[in-house]
Structure 1
Amino acid sequence: MDTAPHANDPRWKHDGVRVVPGDRLDPNTAQTPGMDRKAAINFARVGAQKLWAGTVHIHANAKTGAHHHGPLESVIYVVRGRARMRWGERLEFTAEAGPGDFIYVPPFVPHQEINASATETLECVLVRSDGEAVAVNLDITPAEPPENVPWVDPTHPDPAAG
């Protein structure tokens, strides 16, 4: 017996695809000084069970403290501006990303988000692998200067390596 809902089933009208207009994001979410977060997709707004998505605007010259997000994975998409990420046990590694770039932060990785511009707001889209706001602040003495780590994967070898 077929128990799947059919196209004319009225449940799909309210339990199907959701569109959250960009001008109706919810600022009632965890905030960090120098950053403005707004939720688009979460349990409260659309019933999302396994992810959180929204925007974050990082003020000019602002940065977070060292932290990690426990078992959550995070993806940051840079819309406008220049992001600098530092990570590692002493924040000893750094990489930058600009408009159109994606940043992946694995679970439990100590990191710091930085707006690399002293004059422009950094605008990003943020997606996390759970709706729970997990942020574990860390007391880390940063290494100075951090080691720059270019983006390299098996299909995009390091051009500086020859």
Structure 2
Amino acid sequence: MDRTELTCRLIRPDETYDGKQGLTYFCGIAAETVGSKSICMHLLTIPPGGRAKAHMHENHETAIYVLDGEAIALYGDKLQHHVVTKSGDLFYIPAGVPHLPINISDKPISAIIARTDPNEQESVVLLPDLEIYADQAIARLVKLGPPAG
């Protein structure tokens, strides 16, 4: 490719789209928006009580930077593990690991999501068989109350 054809692109995340995971994302960097080849990055806000569907990204890693608020991420083959993420935290999800974020607080949470898949939704694999484990984990966590700050 002739390097004179390459150009930088500015994206203002003012449009949204609904992801397979059940959440609404602000459009960001992706093959679909800027023609990226190896990465996507977008902004996600999860409302109070919101959560994603159980899913994984088969061949792509995910990095998350929490901008504001606190969330719980369930992960593992049966979503048996969880971690509390809060403003300023970085969270890494290896390729092929089932996971989902939930917000059991009374405030929205916002995060920047980056993935090694330039096609933002292409590598999303929904895992409906894990929803029962998600429901059980969420019920357990709700009894414990919102994450401590």
TM-score tier after normalising by the smaller chain length: 0.7 to 0.9
Equivalent positions of 1:1-162 (< 5 A) are 11=4, 15-21=6-12, 24-28=13-17, 30=19, 32-33=21-22, 35-117=23-105, 119-132=106-119, 133=121, 134-138=123-127, 139-140=129-130, 141-142=132-133, 144=137
Q: Note the C-alpha offset of 1:31.
A: 5.3
Q: Which has the higher contact order (CA 8 A, sep 6+)?
A: 2
Root-mean-square deviation over aligned CA pairs: 2.3
C-alpha change, 1:62 and 1:124, in structure 2 (3 Å) is same
Q: Aligned with 1:120: secondary structure?
A: coil
CA deviation profile, 1:99-127 (whole Å, cap 9, x unmatched): 1111111111011211131x211111111
Structure 1 segments unaligned to the other structure (5+ residues): 6-10, 147-162
Distance in 1, matches of 2:60 and 2:93, equals 9
Q: How many residues are treated as equivalent by the alignment?
A: 132
What TM-score results when the alignment is normalised by the length of structure 2?
Answer: 0.77
Identity %: 23
Structure 1 or 2, whichever has the larger Rg, is 1
Q: Secondary structure at the match of 1:60?
A: coil
Q: Which amino acid aligns with 1:16?
A: T
- Higher strand residue share: 2
